[in-house]
């Protein structure tokens, strides 16, 4: 009983993947304790929060004038400070209510290309949301730790983390980033490309959620062994009436060709700018693919074809980053140097 009481007074530790599309929380004692969309629904008249997370995402494109559904992060960084602070506070309360007597200590992963101003916004949002102490770690480093890569050795490890707002490409050696690039093209841009394609080719407006559903169901980076179809419904641009069409995997592949090509180009660029010794290591070890974008059918195959590397997709790419962030927080004595100021 004394040890349990001491644990409550000591406060909890949490790791957060504060993503453009989804926010995940990891507890060292419980594992993944939260995985919710980074969306908040607000009352326009009072700024009161009506819904957060999964419930708020259902509001997107369906709200009356008095309700605004917003995604407070854009391209991996905070776009709306106050709404982000409220969202973080809500998520923390959701997973810690009744379990702590002190504010939690938290590690948060951020894009590799984050600026000092953006870092301060993340830290201040967390502190104002009730966090006692904040540590920041770059997403590719967290992904490498989450996947169990030997980051402490003098060997090159290449990580490609494709989230909602950014694609992070990094080469890691000796617990440090030897090369990193943050490309602001990822899952959201792929969704947008599908919306634009349906609009241009079929004169139908579809919502963000519908485009994402089509991407998940039939999206692919290379031709599939078996053709796939998915019915989407939207608004006819000519007369405003509802209209449904059947999209094929080839339609979606054509729609997303440009953003997928930009991600592949970022990988090739990283190899060009990485020292030859590290490239030799990567040729031996292969490349780690993480993040929700890693689930796009055939993406690993396309990257392998274009880079001449073996591509390994993490066993649970959606949680790789937050698991790595949590492990780094748990083992501060071992991973303390990977955190950034």
At which residue do the structure tokens 């209510």 appear? 97
DSSP 337: G
**Diameter of the chain by CA atoms?**
70
Q: What are the structural domains of the chain?
A: 2-37+72-141+321-340 (3.30.420.40), 156-185+258-317 (3.30.420.40), 187-256 (3.90.640.10)
Is the CB of residue 114 less than 8 Å from the CB of residue 87?
A: no
Tokens of 201: 């080719």
Q: What SS3 state is found at 205?
A: strand
Beta bridge partners of 110: 138
pLDDT tens by residue, the chain, 341 residues: 334 433 433 458 999 999 999 999 999 889 999 999 999 999 999 989 999 999 999 888 888 889 999 999 988 888 999 999 999 999 998 888 755 556 889 999 998 878 899 899 999 999 998 899 999 999 999 999 999 999 999 999 999 999 999 999 999 999 999 999 999 999 999 999 999 999 999 999 999 999 999 999 999 999 999 999 999 999 999 999 999 999 999 999 999 999 999 999 999 999 999 999 999 999 999 999 999 999 999 999 999 999 999 999 999 999 999 999 999 999 999 998 999 96
Q: Identify which of 35, 120, 121 has the alpha carbon closest to the alpha carbon of residue 78.
A: 121
Q: What is the pTM of this model?
A: 0.90
**CA dist list (Å): 307 to 50, 56, 148, 186, 270:** 46, 39, 23, 19, 10
Question: In angstroms, rounded to a whole number, what is the distance separating the alpha carbons of residues 12 and 28?
Answer: 9
H or E segment and range at residue 261: helix 257-273
């Amino acid at each position: 009983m004394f040890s349990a009481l001491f644990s409550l007074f000591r406060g909890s530790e949490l790791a957060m993947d504060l993503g453009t599309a989804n926010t995940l929380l990891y507890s060292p004692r419980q594992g993944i304790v939260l995985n919710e969309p980074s969306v908040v629904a607000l009352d326009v008249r009072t700024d009161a929060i009506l819904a957060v997370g999964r419930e708020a995402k259902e509001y997107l494109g369906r709200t009356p004038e008095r309700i605004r559904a917003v995604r407070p992060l854009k391209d991996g960084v905070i776009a709306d400070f106050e709404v982000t602070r409220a969202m973080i506070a809500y998520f923390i309360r959701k997973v810690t209510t009744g379990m702590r007597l002190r504010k939690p200590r938290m590690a948060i992963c951020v894009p590799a290309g984050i600026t000092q101003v953006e870092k301060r916004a993340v830290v201040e949002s967390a502190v104002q949301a009730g966090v006692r102490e904040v540590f920041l770690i770059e997403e590719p480093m967290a992904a490498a730790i989450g996947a169990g890569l030997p980051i402490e050795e003098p060997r090159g490890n290449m990580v490609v983390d494709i989230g909602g707002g950014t694609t992070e490409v990094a080469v890691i050696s000796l617990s440090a980033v030897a090369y990193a690039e943050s490309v602001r093209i990822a899952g959201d841009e792929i969704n947008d490309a599908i919306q634009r394609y349906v609009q241009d080719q079929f004169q139908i407006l579809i919502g963000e959620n519908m485009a994402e559903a089509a991407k998940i169901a039939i999206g692919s980076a290379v031709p599939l062994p078996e053709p796939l179809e998915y019915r989407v419904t939207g608004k006819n641009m000519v007369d405003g009436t509802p209209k449904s069409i059947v999209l094929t995997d080839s339609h979606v592949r054509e729609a997303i060709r440009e953003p997928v090509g930009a991600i592949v180009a970022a990988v090739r660029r990283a190899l060009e700018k990485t020292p030859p010794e590290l490239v030799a290591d990567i040729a031996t070890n292969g490349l780690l693919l993480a993040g929700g974008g890693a689930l796009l059918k055939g993406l690993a195959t396309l990257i392998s074809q274009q880079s001449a590397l073996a591509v390994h997709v993490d066993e649970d790419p959606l949680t790789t980053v937050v698991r790595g962030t949590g492990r780094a927080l748990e083992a501060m004595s071992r991973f303390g140097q990977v955190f950034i100021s």
